A and B are shown apart, each in its own frame.
With several copies, the nearest count.
Chain A
Amino acid sequence: MTVFEDLDTLAGHVADGALVALAPEYSWVPMALVRALIRHKVRDLHLLCVPIGGLAADMMIGAGVVGTLEAAAVSLGEAGPAPRFIAAVEGRTMTMRDTTCPAIHTALQASEKGVPFMPLSGLIGSDITSHRDDWKVVDDPLGAGGGPIVLLPAIKPDVTLFHSPRADRDGNVWIGRRRELATMAHASATTLVTVETIEDRDFLADETMAAGTLPSLYVTAIAEVEGGARPLGLTDCYERDMDHIRAYGKAAKTEAGFQAYLDEHVLK
Chain B
Amino acid sequence: MTQNYAPEEFLINALAAELDSVDHVAVGALSPVPGSAALLAQALSDGEQEAGQEARTGAALSGPGQGHKMRVSIIHGDANNPFTDGGRELFDCAGQGRIGAFFLGGAQIDGEANINLLGVGPYPNLDKRFNGSFGSAYVYFVIPKIILFAPDHSRRVLVDKVDFISAPGTSAPDVHRPGGPKVLMTGKCVMDFDADRKRFTLKSVHPGVTVEEVLDNTGFDFDVPEDVPETPAPDAERLQLIRTTVGPEIAKTYPGFAQQVLGFQGG
Name the segment of A12-20, A124-132, A257-265 touching the other chain.
A124-132
Name the segment of B118-126, B197-205, B243-251 touching the other chain.
B118-126
Write the nearest CB–CB distance from A153 to chain B, whole angstroms.
14
Q: Choose one: B64, B91, B139; the contact of A171 (CB below 8 Å).
A: B64
Give CA–CA (A167, B61) in the complex, Å: 11
For window 1-53 of A, CB contacts with B under 8 Å fall at 1-4, 24, 26, 50-52
Contact A182 B86 (CB under 8 A): yes
Give CA–CA (A211, B130) in the complex, Å: 34
Residues of A within 8 A of B256 (CB): 78
Contact A100 B131 (CB under 8 A): no
The contact size tier of chain A is: 35 or more
Contact A126 B167 (CB under 8 A): yes
Give CA–CA (A103, B167) in the complex, Å: 14
Q: Choose one: A82, A121, A146, A170; the contact of B64 (CB below 8 Å).
A: A170
Contact A2 B60 (CB under 8 A): no
Contact A26 B76 (CB under 8 A): yes
Interface of B is mostly: loop
The 8 A CB mask of A209-253 against B (1 = contact, 0 = none) is 011111111110010000000000000000000000000000000
Instruction: Count chain B residues whose beta carbon lies closer than 8 angstroms to a beta carbon of A.
Output: 68
Whether A74 contacts B131 in the complex (CB less than 8 A), given A4-B63, A121-B142, comes out as yes
Contact B171 A169 (CB under 8 A): no
B93 within 8 A of A: yes
Q: Given A114-B97, A179-B86, A215-B83, output 16 extra A-B contacts at Cβ < 8 Å.
A: A1-B64, A3-B63, A4-B64, A92-B125, A100-B166, A116-B176, A122-B137, A124-B171, A126-B167, A178-B86, A179-B89, A187-B96, A200-B61, A213-B84, A214-B84, A217-B98
Q: Choose one: B62, B92, B164; the contact of A112 (CB below 8 Å).
A: B92
Contact A115 B131 (CB under 8 A): no
Interface residues of B (CB under 8 A from A): 24, 29-30, 60-69, 71, 73, 76, 81-89, 91-98, 117-119, 123-142, 164-168, 171-172, 174-177, 256
Contact A182 B85 (CB under 8 A): yes
Give CA–CA (A90, B118) in the complex, Å: 12
Q: Choose one: B62, B82, B87, B130; the contact of A180 (CB below 8 Å).
A: B87
Contact A1 B71 (CB under 8 A): yes
Write the nearest CB–CB distance from B34 to chain A, whole angstroms.
15
Find the B residue at minimum CB distance from A187.
Answer: B96
Give CA–CA (A86, B132) in the complex, Å: 10
Residues of B within 8 A of A111 (CB): 96
Residues of A within 8 A of B93 (CB): 186, 217
Residues of B within 8 A of A204 (CB): 81-82, 84
Residues of B within 8 A of A168 (CB): 64
Residues of A within 8 A of B69 (CB): 1
A268 within 8 A of B: no
Give CA–CA (A202, B43) in the complex, Å: 20
Find the A residue at minimum CB distance from B62.
Answer: A4
Interface of A is mostly: mixed
Write the nearest CB–CB distance from B58 to chain A, whole angstroms.
8
Find the B residue at minimum CB distance from A112.
Answer: B92
Give CA–CA (A172, B61) in the complex, Å: 12
Whether A126 contacts B165 in the complex (CB less than 8 A), given A102-B135, A183-B88, A217-B24, comes out as yes
Contact B86 A181 (CB under 8 A): yes
Interface residues of A (CB under 8 A from B): 1-4, 24, 26, 50-52, 71-75, 77-78, 81-82, 85-86, 89-90, 92, 96, 98-103, 105-106, 109, 111-116, 120-129, 131, 146-149, 167-172, 177-183, 186-187, 198, 200, 204, 210-219, 222
Give CA–CA (A127, B136) in the complex, Å: 12
Q: Choose one: A123, A131, A180, A211; the contact of B138 (CB below 8 Å).
A: A123
Contact B174 A147 (CB under 8 A): yes
Give CA–CA (A109, B87) in the complex, Å: 12
Give CA–CA (A144, B62) in the complex, Å: 44
Give CA–CA (A219, B89) in the complex, Å: 15
Give CA–CA (A47, B95) in the complex, Å: 24
Write the nearest CB–CB distance from B72 to chain A, whole angstroms.
11
Contact B30 A222 (CB under 8 A): no
The listed residue with most A CB atoms (<10 A of its CB), out of B71, B133, B168, is B133
Contact A90 B164 (CB under 8 A): no
Write the nearest CB–CB distance from A102 to chain B, whole angstroms.
4
Contact B134 A216 (CB under 8 A): no
Q: Give me 27 A-to-B residue pairs in the complex whose CB atoms sit less than 8 angstroms apart, sorted by A's number.
A: A52-B29, A52-B134, A71-B132, A73-B132, A89-B119, A89-B126, A90-B126, A92-B125, A101-B138, A111-B96, A114-B92, A122-B141, A123-B137, A124-B168, A125-B168, A149-B176, A168-B64, A172-B64, A177-B86, A178-B86, A179-B84, A179-B89, A182-B85, A200-B60, A213-B84, A217-B65, A219-B64
